[in-house]
């Protein structure tokens, strides 16, 4: 089970991300209702949602980086989330997609115990260039902080494509490490197992027998 923020599509990460007061939330909710209560852009209510998600204690996903035309790419650098992350406690924060900010995301995963990275959609978008992206994810992010996903939204074929591209990318990168004598084959297998399964199982409690089970969160 987890929650997801698309703050990247609702103004970006730059600006105030502190928790609003109850009075601010009530006033903002009234404004949103009076305006028709349709598409939510109110920064106060978006901030309120983030802190409610933290209180749930379930993994909180952030869309980071590339998206469609509603996303102001220059405002989706995850470094804008620094103050929020400093106040996020132990709740797992998963940074999704990340391109072209995968190095910043990797730094945050290294700097904060509760931050993780998931390349997801980027692998589908980059295609044959995805090995370079996967290699950059491995530069700073701890291996126990990187998650695989296919991000197979839309046509079923995208699930297959995401998986095939990721297998090719991680295989080429790690084979290069082994062939160069920098890693052993056992090292490479251990890291693949972590990224492909064990990290997600741990963070989302997929192998814990949790009776609530995982809730699929769209990427």
pLDDT digits (tens, 9 = 90+) for 49-65: 999 999 999 999 999 99
Q: What is the pLDDT of residue 214?
A: 36
| pLDDT band of 211, cuts 50, 70, 90 | very low
pLDDT tens string 4-49:
998 999 989 999 999 999 999 999 999 999 998 888 889 999 999 9
| pLDDT band of 91, cuts 50, 70, 90 | very high
Distance from C-alpha of 185 to C-alpha of 127, rounded to nearest angstrom: 26
Length, in residues, of the chain: 219
Token pair for 36? 């028709």
Q: 24 φ, ψ to 5°?
A: -65, -40
Distance from C-alpha of 150 to C-alpha of 119, rounded to nearest angstrom: 9
Q: What is the pLDDT of residue 207?
A: 62
Q: What is the pLDDT of residue 34?
A: 92
pLDDT > 70 in the chain, percent: 94
Distance from C-alpha of 11 to C-alpha of 211, rounded to nearest angstrom: 36
Cis check for the bond before 114: say yes or no (omega within 30 of 0).
no
Would the pLDDT of 173 be above 80? yes
Q: What is the pLDDT averaged over residues 74-93?
A: 96
Distance from C-alpha of 161 to C-alpha of 127, rounded to nearest angstrom: 9
Maximum distance among all Cα pairs of the chain, rounded to whole angstroms:
64
Distance from C-alpha of 103 to C-alpha of 141, rounded to nearest angstrom: 8
Say which DSSP state 37 is in.
S
Distance from C-alpha of 11 to C-alpha of 139, rounded to nearest angstrom: 29
Is residue 109 within 8 Å of 103, Cβ to Cβ?
no
| Alpha-carbon distances of 98 from 15, 92, 159, 208, rounded to whole Å | 19, 16, 19, 28
| Alpha-carbon distances of 5 from 66, 82, 102, 140, rounded to whole Å | 14, 16, 18, 24
| pLDDT band of 206, cuts 50, 70, 90 | confident
Q: What is the pLDDT of residue 213?
A: 40
Token pair for 126? 């980059």
Q: What is the pLDDT of residue 210?
A: 44
What mean pLDDT value characterizes the chain? 91
């Amino acid at each position: 089970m987890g929650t997801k923020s698309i703050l990247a599509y609702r103004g970006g990460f730059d600006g105030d991300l502190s928790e609003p007061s109850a009075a601010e939330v009530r006033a903002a909710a009234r404004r949103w209702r009076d305006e028709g209560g349709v598409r939510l852009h109110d920064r106060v209510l978006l901030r309120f949602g983030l802190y409610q998600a933290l209180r749930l204690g379930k993994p909180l996903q952030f869309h980071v980086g590339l998206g469609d035309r509603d996303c102001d790419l220059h405002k989706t650098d995850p470094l804008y989330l620094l103050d929020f992350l400093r106040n996020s406690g132990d709740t797992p924060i998963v940074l999704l997609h990340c391109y072209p900010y995968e190095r910043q995301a990797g730094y945050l995963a290294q700097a904060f115990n509760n931050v993780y990275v998931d390349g997801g959609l980027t692998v589908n978008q980059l295609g044959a260039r995805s090995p370079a992206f996967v290699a950059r994810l491995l530069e700073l992010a701890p291996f126990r902080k990187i998650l695989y996903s296919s991000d197979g939204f839309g046509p079923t074929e995208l699930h297959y494509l995401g998986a095939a591209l990721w297998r090719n990318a991680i295989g080429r990168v790690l084979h290069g490490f082994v062939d160069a004598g920098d890693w052993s084959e056992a090292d490479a297998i251990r890291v693949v197992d972590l990224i492909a399964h064990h990290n997600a199982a741990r963070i989302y409690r997929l192998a814990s027998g949790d009776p609530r089970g995982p809730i699929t969160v769209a990427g």
